[in-house]
Amino acid sequence: MNPFLKIAYQPYKWIIVIPFVFIITMILGVTCIFSGLLFKQSGVNIIAVVWSRLCCAIAPLKVIIKGKKNYDGNTSYVVVSNHQSMADIPVIHGHLGLKIKWIMKKELGKIPVFGSACHHLGCIYVDRKNHKAAMKSIRKAQEELSENASVLFFAEGTRSRDGKVMPFKKGAFKFACETNLPILPVTIKNSFDVLPSDSLDLTPGIIEIIVHRPIHLSGRHMDHLDDVIKQTRQMISGAL
C-alpha cells in the first residue's frame, strides 16, 4: 500500500474499523448465543458468515477464491490451512462456503460472549498443553459433528510470525483418518501483508484463498501420515 494512503487510513482504522468490529462482535455474538439455544447450529452458521463478511467489508478486504471446482459446499472435509494472520478467520469463514467448525485453544472459550458464541457454532476447544485432553476433545467432536460440517485446522498450530509456512502438526491428519473425511488443503495468501501477526497494523488489501484438490485417506494407515503431511504442506506452501 502506498505510504501516504497508509497514513491516511489510520484515522479510519481507529475511529471506524476497530470500534465497528468490536460492536458487531458483541451484538452478533449475543445473537449467536440465542440462536444456538433456539435454532441450533444452522442459525448460528448464518450469523457467523454475516459477521465474517461485515468484518471484511469494513476493512475493506477483497477476497478472491481460486479452485472452487475442487470442493463441494455440501460435503464435509477436514480443512487444513496455513495461518498468517487474524484476518484469516473472517476471510475463510465468510467466503469459503463451507459449514466450518474451528479447532480453537481452550483459553479463547473464556472470552465473554465470544467464547459462548463459538461454542454454539460448534467450535472445538482443545488444551494444547495436554495432548491426551486435546485428543479427547477432538474425538468427542467427531461424535457431535453435524451434517455437512467441516472442521478447520490451522495445521501449524499458531500464526506464522514471518508469513512462511511452519512445520505441520499431526492432529488434523489423525482426525481425518479417524473420521474418514477427505483433507481439503487451503492456502491463504497475502493476509500477512494485510494484518501481520501480533499487531493491529491493518491495511486494506486483496487476500487470495487457493483451494487444492482433496486428499482422500481411505486405505492409508497411520504409518503413512508423515508422507501425507509432507505432501499437504508442500501443496499449501507451494502456492504462496
| CATH number of the domain that residue 72 is part of | 3.40.1130.10
Whole-number pLDDT of residue 220? 59
Domain that holds residue 109: 3-238
210 — pLDDT class (breaks 50, 70, 90):
very high
Domain count, the chain: 1
Query: What's the CA gap between 154 and 176, in Å, rounded?
Result: 14
Query: What's the CA gap between 220 and 43, in Å, rounded?
Result: 36
- What is the helix, strand, coil percentage profile of the chain, to 5? 50, 15, 30
Whole-number pLDDT of residue 79? 95
| pLDDT > 80? residue 18 | yes
117 — pLDDT class (breaks 50, 70, 90):
confident
Specify the pTM: 0.88
Interior angle at CA 81, CA 184 and CA 104, nearest 5: 110
7: buried, middle or exposed (CB in 10 Å: 19+, 13-18, 0-12)? exposed
Whole-number pLDDT of residue 67? 96
Query: What's the CA gap between 36 and 44, in Å, rounded?
Result: 6
142 — pLDDT class (breaks 50, 70, 90):
low
First to last CA, the chain: 19
180 — pLDDT class (breaks 50, 70, 90):
confident
List beta partners, residue 1: none
CA 58 to chain centre: 19
Whole-number pLDDT of residue 134? 62
Beta strands in 108-200 (DSSP E): 124-126, 149-154, 183-189
